[in-house]
Amino acid sequence: MLFGATGDLAKRMVLPAFYTLAIEGLLPEDWALVGNGRGDVAHEDFRKHVHDALTEFGPAPGKGPWKQFEKRLYFAGGGFDTDSPGSLLDVIGDTREMLGEDAQLVHYFAVPPSHFGELTKALSEHGLAKGSRVVFEKPFGTSPTDFRALDRTVHSVLDESQVYRIDHFLGKEATQNLHVLRFANELFAAMWNNKHIESVQIDVPEDLGIDDRALFYDATGATLDMLVTHLFQVAAEVAMEPPASLDAEGLQSAREKVIKAFRPLDPAEVVLGQFEGYQDVEGIKSRSRTDTYVAARLWIDNARWRGVPFLLRTGKRMAASEQRVSIVLRTPEGPFADLPAQANVLTFSLSGNGEFGLSLLAKKPGVALTVDPATVSLPLAQLPDAEPLPPYARLINDVLLGDRSLFTRPDGLSAAWKAVTPLLENRPRLHKYAQSSWGPSAAAKLASPHGWLLGQ
């Protein structure tokens, strides 16, 4: 069941992911996708909606098994809440006649987080919770208090093993390779500590605006939409201790344990911004104080990372779109003098299928002993027999398989909310920044003395 099936998130991400799985032959032999919404939409009209979404966002329905795929698309209108299931129970009954009574139920909440609690209670009220798997989009709660209330509601209905809190940055190939590169290669494992690493930069600038989701964004902002979700999770992937195992329990435990070591953010080490013209966007309040940019210095209080700043930055309407993790190594002491700073960097591009990069210093060929910067890169899609999946497709496939390795747990989310609470309670002043810039100049001090690698 896809709740919010005609919404923007479903159109851009979830429906293309399902069709990608169909093209790759990764969907179960027998399946049905039932969309749900308030409107009274015929099955045929919903299939056209899905066709149009795929035409706009891909994969194009002209490719792959569209004729077979569309026959398995259904729509249940009339909404769904504790008072009324709309037509959803009837449509589920019809699909169960085709698939069998023991078919695995998967509920995907592609709706604003304010609806999560009511939908969860409605699943219980109408007999759709037992044995099901439920996917919650981020953010899981919109404040520490809201998180705790939602967590209580969810666990009053569902066992934790049924819950899949999705953060698509964890489904990216390069994010997963963060721990593979480290734990499978002694070259990197040996230097993964504060003795060798000077800083870590996790930088996700976006040149896109918020015109297509203004109401949602104005109620959320960059801090809740990106910092306490994606950026914190990627920081945990970089910083976690070697897991006891690579299964769901091992990976989740290692990731959540290090989040508990995140020092609560100091508002003096956070810069918030709003791009010029934001308040002129249709649907935005004329005096909105919503942040469209956040840069923060995060500290991790454990033996491995003590003293290493994690520099986190994201924003809308910036100079470029990037998704990059940079592990900046310390400049060695002697025998070379005056070596440039930040010259030895291991980078992970999280965009697309992912790419590793290594910046280092090498001797320039010639008679003189001249040291020059050099870079090498490895696009992951070029590895032999590589079969990368887009992150949403990867994570939905994991849901269908019952693999929770790349999904968040409540203990980690609770620690993330604890780390961001000082910022929410004592917000620094909001800086205006020009569109197509690298954000407020005040953020430069967070990355001193050497600066941000992107935008220099």
The answer to whether the beta carbons of residues 431 and 440 sit under 8 Å apart is yes
Establish whether 363 is an annotated binding residue.
no
Establish whether 63 is an annotated binding residue.
no
230 catalytically annotated: yes
The answer to whether the beta carbons of residues 185 and 194 sit under 8 Å apart is no
C-alpha to C-alpha distance for 182 and 238, rounded to whole angstroms: 9
Establish whether 431 is an annotated binding residue.
no
- Measured in degrees and rounded to the nearest 5, phi and psi for residue 377 equal -140, 155
Burial class (CB in 10 A: 0-12, 13-18, 19+), 6: buried
Establish whether 27 is an annotated binding residue.
no
The answer to whether the beta carbons of residues 228 and 139 sit under 8 Å apart is yes
Establish whether 206 is an annotated binding residue.
yes
Residue that is written with structure tokens 């976690």 in the block: 240
What is 414-454 written as a DSSP string? HHHHHHHHHHHHSPPPEEEE-TTB-S-GGGGGGGTTT--ST
- Identify any residues that bridge with 136 across adjacent strands, giving them in sequence order: 109, 165
Angle at the Cα of 260 (from 258 to 264), degrees rounded to 5? 115
The answer to whether the beta carbons of residues 143 and 424 sit under 8 Å apart is yes
Would you call 13 helix, strand, or coil by DSSP? helix
Residue that is written with structure tokens 């259904």 in the block: 74
The answer to whether the beta carbons of residues 165 and 407 sit under 8 Å apart is yes
Establish whether 432 is an annotated binding residue.
no
- Measured in degrees and rounded to the nearest 5, phi and psi for residue 135 equal -100, 120
Q: Exactly one of 115, 230, 431, 450 is catalytic; name it.
A: 230
- Measured in degrees and rounded to the nearest 5, phi and psi for residue 316 equal -95, 155
Sign of the CA dihedral with 444 first, then 311, 452, and 279 last: negative
Residue that is written with structure tokens 């939602």 in the block: 150
Establish whether 10 is an annotated binding residue.
yes
CB atoms within 10 A of CB 331: 16
Establish whether 364 is an annotated binding residue.
no
Would you call 379 helix, strand, or coil by DSSP? strand
Establish whether 7 is an annotated binding residue.
yes
How many helices, marked H, and strands, marked E, lie in the chain?
15, 15
Establish whether 38 is an annotated binding residue.
yes
C-alpha to C-alpha distance for 403 and 358, rounded to whole angstroms: 32
304 contact partners, CB below 8 Å, separation of at least 6: 192, 193, 194, 239, 241
Burial class (CB in 10 A: 0-12, 13-18, 19+), 196: middle
Establish whether 159 is an annotated binding residue.
no
Binding residues for NADP(+): 4-11, 38, 138
Binding residues for substrate: 168, 172, 206, 225, 316
Query: Which residues are tagged catalytic?
Result: 230
Binding residues: 4-11, 38, 138, 168, 172, 206, 225, 316
